[in-house]
């Protein structure tokens, strides 16, 4: 399974997780079985609420799920339309998030989830 996690810098599974999906400078695509990682630049991060278009950077890349801390309603709807599952990261550790996914512990984010906007990335 290919899991996408927003990150601040590319350090593979040791990358720091970004607080906000849409404003992350990078996305880490991780094969949860092999732990092979691919960093993708967020080409349209937007820095004001509701202005980011993060899925544009991921449109050519196959992902099965996203794990994030904060996600806006527009992204939730777009991911649902693309049949991509969305989960709340288990911790700021990507390795622990992968472990949580594999163990079935990650909480799925739906439209009932509200992005808790926080300034900064």
Chain segment 59-96, per-residue pLDDT in tens: 788 899 999 988 888 888 888 888 999 999 877 888 88
Q: Domain 2-102 sits in which CATH superfamily?
A: Dinitrogenase iron-molybdenum cofactor biosynthesis domain (3.30.420.130)
Q: Note the Cα 64 to chain centre separation in Å.
A: 11
pLDDT band at 106 (very low <50, low <70, confident <90, very high): very high
Give the per-residue pLDDT at 68: 92
Domain ranges (residues) in the chain: 2-102
Q: Is the dihedral of CA 48, 50, 53, 55 positive or negative?
A: positive
């Amino acid at each position: 399974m290919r899991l996408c996690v927003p990150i601040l810098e590319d350090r593979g599974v040791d990358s720091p997780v970004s607080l906000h999906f849409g404003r992350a400078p990078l996305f880490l695509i991780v094969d949860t079985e092999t732990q092979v990682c691919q960093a993708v630049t967020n080409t349209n991060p937007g820095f004001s609420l509701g202005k980011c278009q993060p899925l544009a950077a991921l449109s050519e890349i196959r992902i099965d799920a996203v794990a994030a801390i904060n996600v806006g309603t527009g992204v939730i709807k777009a991911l649902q339309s693309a049949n991509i599952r969305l989960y709340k990261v288990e911790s700021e550790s990507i390795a622990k998030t992968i472990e949580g996914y594999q163990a079935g512990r990650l909480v799925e984010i739906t439209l009932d989830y509200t992005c808790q906007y926080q300034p900064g990335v």
